[in-house]
Chains A and B, each alone.
Chain A
Amino acid sequence: DTGVSQDPRHKITKRGQNVTFRCDPISEHNRLYWYRQTLGQGPEFLTYFQNEAQLEKSRLLSDRFSAERPKGSFSTLEIQRTEQGDSAMYLCASSLSGQVNTEAFFGQGTRLTVV
């Protein structure tokens, strides 16, 4: 499978615990995005990387959230001290940057439930 891969697909955690999600983009894609989607809403932008550089972070990304893309390939999104409001689907996408704004390809997401 050469698409965007996310792991795990589902995560249930107790409030206050830390969680980490992984995203493996399409191999030749240099841009990687994280989005969050709650029930009945569209995906909300969290942050994106171009290669290993984190170029933008949304105000939605509180201090408890951190994302990394250390070698410009896979990325991790960590949530510290999880809260019930963090329950959502976390989507990763990748694309090729360049003069033409290409479409982003999305993974199947990680569904987080905080109990």
Chain B
Amino acid sequence: AQKVTQAQTEISVVEKEDVTLDCVYETRDTTYYLFWYKQPPSGELVFLIRRNSFDEQNEISGRYSWNFQKSTSSFNFTITASQVVDSAVYFCALSADKLIFGTGTRLQVFP
């Protein structure tokens, strides 16, 4: 069975703080993909990143970075120098043929 766990229900930080959102997954597939999506208050899910199971290189995109560790089945997401506009619900997802989402982490960034 496939499962994604986001243990952090809600995180609050003050602007400019760094914040890490945790994601742990379970799958028996050897080939799979991991995703992060952002859901702002408007409700639309916005794609942030895709990573395949054979690529464990960390990735940085501006203030965003992702740490994929297959040994611990984790795919964590760090926002550096957070901004108020980062406030949203963030979902980690796992896919072999369809996306399976975690329950999400609500991030609130206060000015």
- 63-111 of chain B: CB within 8 A of chain A: 91, 93, 95-104
Could you give 14 example pairs across A and B, Cβ below 8 Å?
A33-B98, A35-B99, A40-B103, A41-B104, A42-B102, A43-B45, A45-B98, A56-B98, A93-B45, A101-B52, A101-B95, A101-B96, A106-B44, A109-B43
Alpha-carbon gap, A104 to B93, bound state (A): 11
List chain B positions with a Cβ less than 8 A from chain A: 4, 6, 33, 35, 37, 42-45, 47, 50, 52, 91, 93, 95-104
Total CB contacts across the A-B interface at under 8 A = 54
Interface 1/0 per residue, A17-43 and B, CB below 8 Å: 000000000000000010100001111
Q: Does A112 contact B (CB under 8 A)?
A: no
Chain B residues with Cβ under 8 A from A44's Cβ? 101
Interface 1/0 per residue, A94-107 and B, CB below 8 Å: 00000001111111
- 28-76 of chain A: CB within 8 A of chain B: 33, 35, 40-45, 48, 55-56
| A105 touches which of B4, B33, B47, B104 (Cβ 8 Å) | B47
List chain A positions with a Cβ less than 8 A from chain B: 33, 35, 40-45, 48, 55-56, 89, 91, 93, 101-109
Q: Given A35-B99, A43-B101, A108-B42, 13 more contacts at CB 8 Å?
A: A33-B99, A41-B103, A42-B91, A42-B101, A42-B103, A43-B99, A101-B52, A101-B95, A101-B96, A103-B35, A103-B50, A105-B47, A109-B44
Chain B residues with Cβ under 8 A from A93's Cβ? 45, 99
